[in-house]
A and B are shown apart, each in its own frame.
Chain A
Amino acid sequence: MVLQILEARRPELSASSATAADLHMVVDRLTGALLEPGVVPEPWPAFAERLRREYASEAQRLKWTGSAAAVSTALCDRLATETALPNDDPIQELFDEVVKVAKAQLATFSLPSPSRLRIDLKVVHCQLSPAEPGCPYVISAVTTPNPAEPLDRTVQLSIGLGQPGKTPILDLDSLLTIPYVIFHEVLSHVLRSPWTAVPVEDDGSRFQEGWMDFMALRLHEAYTRGAFGSIGSPLVRDQPGDCRYHAEGYSRSRFALDNQLEVHSQRAIGWAAAERCLSAIATARGGDVADAVLMELSLLINRSRQATITRDGLIGRINERLPFLPASPTKTEEASFRRLLDAMDRARLAADIGPILGELAALSHLTNE
C-alpha cells in the first residue's frame, strides 16, 4: 500500500519541478529499500510497521539533511502522516470483500456455495515475476484444495518483488490488478464444483480459464463501479478506472496468441464464447439484464457436476451454434437463437444445465440454414 501511495504521489509531485527530481528519488529509494529481498515475506502487521518506520525515517532524513531544500516540511509531514497504515492487511481485506461479492452473486441466484466452504488467502513474495510469460504484471494466484478437508480452499497470491540489488519489479500497475486476479481465482477456481481434495487441472480449460475469466472481469467491473455498494478497499476505491484498465490488460495477456498457443487458444475461445453469449442475450433481452442472465448461467455451470471436458464441450457447441447474429437475421436464425435462449432460461429455472446441452445438440447450425 505504501508503494501505491508513493506512486500515486508522483504526478502530484511532478507539478513542482523543483522538487520533482528529489521526490522521485525518494520514491525510488524507498521502493528499493522496502522491497529488499531477504526481509520478506513477513506477516502484514510487521511488514506494514517496517514500511512505516522506513518511510518516516526517510522523510525525516530528507528534511534534516536538507538534501532537498525545496521540499517543504509540510509536505514531508504529510508524507509521514500517510504512512500511518492500518494494522489490517489490506490485501486480506480486499480478498474478503471479493469473496463476499462472489458469494452474494451465488445467493442472488439461489445457488449457494457449500456452507462449510472455507476460503483462505496466503500471500507470498517472490523475486521473479510469478506471472506467465508475456504477462506485463507481476501478480499471479493459484487455488489449491486442502488434502485433509475437501471443502477448504487456499488462494495463494504471489507478488513479484525483484532480485536483490536490482531494480524492483513490483509496480503500481501490478498492484492494481490484484482485485481482478482475486476475482478470477474465486470465481473460476474456488466456487467451482467438484469440491474435492483432489486438485482439478483447469489450465487448458476453455470454460474455467476463458469463459469464467470473462465473467470474473465483468464482476470486477461491476464491483469497481460500485454496483455492490461502497467499496472498502482503498486500492479500488481510489483508482477504480485504473483497476479496470489493468484488469482488462491482464486478462487479455492471458490469451494473447503470440504466447503459449496451446493454452492461450483455449482460453481465448472460451472468453470469446462468453462475450458472444453476452452480446446475444443483450440483443434479445436487453443490455440491462444480460449480465445477470449470463452470470446466473455461468455460476450454474460452474457448480454443476459436469466434468471439465463437458463444460469445454459446451463452449465448442456455443461457438458452433451461436455465431454473432447478423444485423438482419433470417427468421430461422432468430427462431433457433430464441430456442437456445429459452433453453438457458429453463436451465436457470431448473438449476440444471441439461436443457442447454440438449438444445445445443438439437439445434441445426444457424448459419447453415
Chain B
Amino acid sequence: MLQVSDQQYRVFGAMLALGEFTVEDLAKLSGVKADTVRTTLGRNKEWVEELGKIDPSGPGGRMVRYRTQPGRIHALRAKLSDLASAMQLEKGLAARAAGVPLELLAAEATLVERLPRVDGAERSALVDLVRTDLHTAQRNIDQRLVSMNAENVELHRRTVESILGLIDAQAGARGDETRVVGSEDVIREASEILARWQAEPPGSYRDAVVRQLEHWRAAAAQRLREAHPHVVVIDGSTGAEGRALTGLVGRLLRIALGTQPDAQPLWAHAGSFRSIDAVLARAGDEGEEPDVFVITVPASRAAGAADFVAKLALRVPGESLFVISDEQEPTLLNNTLHARGTYLLSPGLDPRALGVKLRQSVEARLHGWPTTEHSRSTEDAWLEGEIEVLESDPIELRAPPARDAPQAG
C-alpha cells in the first residue's frame, strides 16, 4: 500500500494546478510548509524539471523555478488518483471498502441503492452493468491491478454474487426455469452473507445492504416455492394398473419439477372419488393449500372420474386440475372438458413426453400461458437434460391386467 500523507497529495495537486512554480508557490497554494515541499520535490524529481533561478523582489534570495514535466501530466494526474485512493484507505472509509476494487464497490452500490428504484428494461440494464463491473473487478483482482484487502474483497464479491444469484433465481419466474435449480444453495449463501452484514457496525449503507439481501432472498424463496408447487396426486385407481399410473405420474412430477423425492410434498390420495371434502381436507393438512391437483384415472373409471372432476372444479380453480388417464380415454376428455383447465394432457403421450407436458402445464398455470416456442424449447431442454436419467433408470410400465368391472365413482 502506498504510504502517503495528505500533505504530499496537496503538493502534487498544486504542481498540477500551477504548471510552473517555485517551492514558495507550492507552499502557498497547498498550505504545506516549504521544507516539506522541498522534501517532496526532492523525492519526486522525475515529475519536474528546473527552469532556472529567479530573483524575487523581496528577501529570500534566488529561488529555483520548476515546471511539471509536460509529457507527464497525465501520469501525474493518475498518481494523484492513486494518492487519493491510498489516503482513503488510511482514513478507512467504512473500513470495509478499503482495498476493494472500485468496480466491485460500484456494482454493490448499484444493486443496493439504484436497482430498487427502477424496473423493467432499466432494471435489466442495471443488472447487466453490475455483471460487467463484477467481471472487470475480477479481472483487476486476478491481474493484481489494485492493492487489495482479501477479507474485504471477499465480503463485497460474495455480496454482489449473492444478490445477483437471488435475482436470477427470482427472475426464473418469468424466464429461464432452469435457474431455479440450485436456488436453495443461493439462498443459503445469501443467508450467510446477510449474517455477516448484520454483524457490521450500524450505518445507513449497511442497513441498505441488509434490506436488499433480505428482499431478494425472500423473493427467491417465494419463487422456489412456486417452482416446486404443492402437488396433490389423487389416485383414482383401484387396481394395479392405476397404481402403476399414479407411480408414474409421481415419478415424472418429481423429475419434471426438479424436486427431490423427500423435499416437497407430493401426496397420493388413493381410493374413492366420493369424498371430495376428505380429499381437500387431507390435502390441506400440511397447512398449505395445494397449488395443483393431478388426478390419475384408469380408463375403466372414466365416468366416475368425470363426475368427481366436475365437483372438484367447483372447489378449486380449473387451471389447477390435471386429469390423466392411462389411455387418455376420449370419453374422459370429453366428460371433463367443462370442468378442467385448459391444460389437460393430450392423448397418446409416451411417458417421457407426459412428464414434459405436465411440467409445462404446471409452469403455465403458475406463470401464464406458454408460447409454442417456449413449450418446444422447454421440452427440448428437459429431454436433453433428463433423458440420461430416464435411460439409466427407466420407468417401468407394467402391462395392465384385465380391466376391473366398471364401478360407480
Contacts and interface: CB of A to CB of B under 8 A. Distances in A.
B109 A265 contact: yes
Interface in B1-55: 13-14, 16-19, 21, 25, 28-30
B71 A279 contact: no
Nearest to B73: A287
Interface in B266-287: none
Interface on chain A toward B: helix, strand, loop, or mixed SS?
Answer: helix
Contact of B106 (A269, A313, A368): A269
Contacts of B143: 323, 367
Interface string B141-173: 001010000000000000000000000000000
A350 interface: no
A258 interface: yes
A317 interface: yes
Which applies to chain B's interface (DSSP): helix, strand, loop or mixed? helix
Interface stretch (A67-75, A227-235, A241-249, A296-304): A241-249
Contacts of B105: 257, 261, 265
Nearest to A276: B78
B113 A272 contact: no
Given A319-B103, A368-B139, A258 B81 contact: no
B128 interface: yes
A351 to B, nearest CB: 23
A262 B112 contact: yes
A278 B74 contact: yes
A43 B77 CA distance: 40
Contacts, number: 122
Contacts of A206: 106
A268 B107 CA distance: 12
Contacts of A310: 125
Contacts of B106: 206, 265-266, 268-269
B208 A242 contact: no
Contacts of A11: 28
A309 B129 contact: yes
Given A278-B74, A368-B139, 14 more contacts: A204-B114, A241-B19, A241-B25, A249-B13, A252-B84, A256-B88, A257-B85, A265-B102, A266-B106, A269-B106, A312-B129, A319-B103, A319-B133, A320-B132
Interface of A: 11, 15, 204, 206, 225, 241-242, 244-245, 248-249, 252, 256-259, 261-263, 265-266, 268-269, 272, 275, 278-279, 282, 287, 307, 309-310, 312-313, 316-317, 319-320, 323-324, 365, 367-368
